[in-house]
Chain A
Amino acid sequence: MSRAPRIAVAVFPGTWSERDFAHVASTLGWEARLVWHTETDLGEPDAVVLPGGFAHGDHLRTGAIARFSPVMKAVTDFAAAGGPVLGSCNGFQILCEAGILPGVLLRNDHLEFRCDWQGLRVEHAIGPWLNDLAAGEPIRLPISHGEGRYHADAATLDELERSDRVALRYSDDAGMVSADANPNGSLRSIAGIVNERGNVLGMMPHPERASEGELGGTDGLRLFRSLERWLVAQPAAAERRL
């Protein structure tokens, strides 16, 4: 791919991380287009981001109303065609409500909103979003959520593990997974998962908030670098017009 990557960042009423994603994209020389939730055309992106926030006020359930926004039809089609989609925090909640990813995010087990740096262990280091990382590697990213407790029935959890679709687990800074290192009570310490095809990643942490050294860490930047590498390696996918 010769031109700069182009990402579409969906914006719902109450989304709060869209400009952070656009800012990181601009520091990399990428093009980022903010797409209001009533729009139906994503504008031929290479990848789509559903950022964090409180879409539609999180009313009824997180992501429950956002799922019906017109832009979600385009996001669903883009994902179904194999396009790279990243849902972070509220974006992960929306992907689950929309049925693009399995499971649901419940109130944190301690009922507190948790805003902190969090250790994570990379479990699934392939695909468009994580290929620049290594399986088993510990990373640190910020979390910022009140409803991040991943839940799915046991059969779904077993299937996620069997098919290597658990992407990230909460851990200490050395990558050790334990109940103490789990910030919200997520089942099996799950912090992020991918869909069957591997092109859609949902994760509670915020990579866009850890992409510049001044902010305390750059592990998040590696998700952007992963996408860049993936697009270069798959010119056919990158040049696809969806």
Chain B
Amino acid sequence: MRWLAEVHVRLQPGIADPEGQTIAGGLRSLGFGSVGEVRAGKLLRLVFQAADRAAAEAAIDSMCRQLLANPVMETADWELLVDDDPGDEATA
């Protein structure tokens, strides 16, 4: 089966995020004065093959731990969907 994972990589809480602070400052200067903290992160969208949901979850979990996030500074969480868009590319 073909799966679609959306992986959200975030800086761990407590680690200064100057990019998020700059975005927050920009929003406030536009007049959105109620904006509090902004944290910037990364969204990774992956299409891949796995036999079933358990195998797909194990694969994406392993990908996150081995490469997609650095546990020294980041956290990763993900959503997993069956991919039914024929436009996506995934190797069998």
Residues on A lying within 8 angstroms of B by beta carbon are 60-61, 64, 68, 96-97, 102-104, 106-111, 151-153, 185
Residues of A within 8 A of B30 (CB): none
B70 in contact with A106 (CB, 8 Å): no
Taking each of A61, A97, A102, A103, which has the highest tally of chain B beta carbons within 10 Å of its own beta carbon? A61
Give chain A residues whose Cβ lies under 8 Å from the Cβ of B15: 106, 151
Given contacts A60-B68, A64-B67, A151-B15, contact A111 B73 (CB under 8 A): no
Interface string of B1-23 (1 = CB under 8 A from A): 00000000001000110110010
Smallest Cβ-Cβ distance to B71: which chain A residue: A104
Q: Is the CB of A110 within 8 A of B18?
A: yes
How far, in whole Å, are A111 and B67 apart by their CA atoms in the complex?
A: 24
Interface: B72 (CB within 8 A): yes
Can you report 6 residue pairs joining A to B where beta carbons are below 8 Å apart? A106-B11, A106-B73, A110-B18, A111-B19, A151-B15, A185-B18
Q: Which residues of A contact B67 (CB under 8 A)?
A: 60, 64, 68
Do B19 and A107 touch (CB < 8 A)? yes
- Known A-B contacts A60-B67, A64-B67; A109 and B18 likewise in contact (beta carbons under 8 Å): yes
Asked if residues B72 and A151 are in contact (CB atoms below 8 Å), the reply is yes
A104 CB contact (under 8 Å) in B16, B19, B22, B72: B72
* Residue numbers in B under 8 Å from A96 (CB-CB): 72
- Which 10 interchain pairs have the tightest Cβ spacing? A104-B72, A104-B73, A109-B18, A111-B18, A151-B73, A61-B70, A104-B70, A111-B22, A107-B18, A109-B16
Chain B residue at minimal CB-CB distance from A102: B72
Interface string of B22-57 (1 = CB under 8 A from A): 100000000000000000000000000000000000
Q: How many Å lie between the Cα of A206 and that of B22 in the bound state?
A: 29
Residues in A whose Cβ lies below 8 Å from that of B70: 61, 64, 97, 104
Separation of A112 and B67 alpha carbons in the complex (Å): 26
Question: How far, in whole Å, are A108 and B16 apart by their CA atoms in the complex?
Answer: 10
- Closest Cβ neighbor of B44 among chain A residues: A60
Tell me whether A152 and B72 are in contact (CB under 8 A): yes
Please name the residue on chain A nearest to B40 by beta carbon: A107
Distance A61 CA – B15 CA, assembled complex (angstroms): 16
A233 CA / B11 CA spacing, docked (Å):
45
Query: Cα distance A229–B72 when bound, in Å?
Result: 35
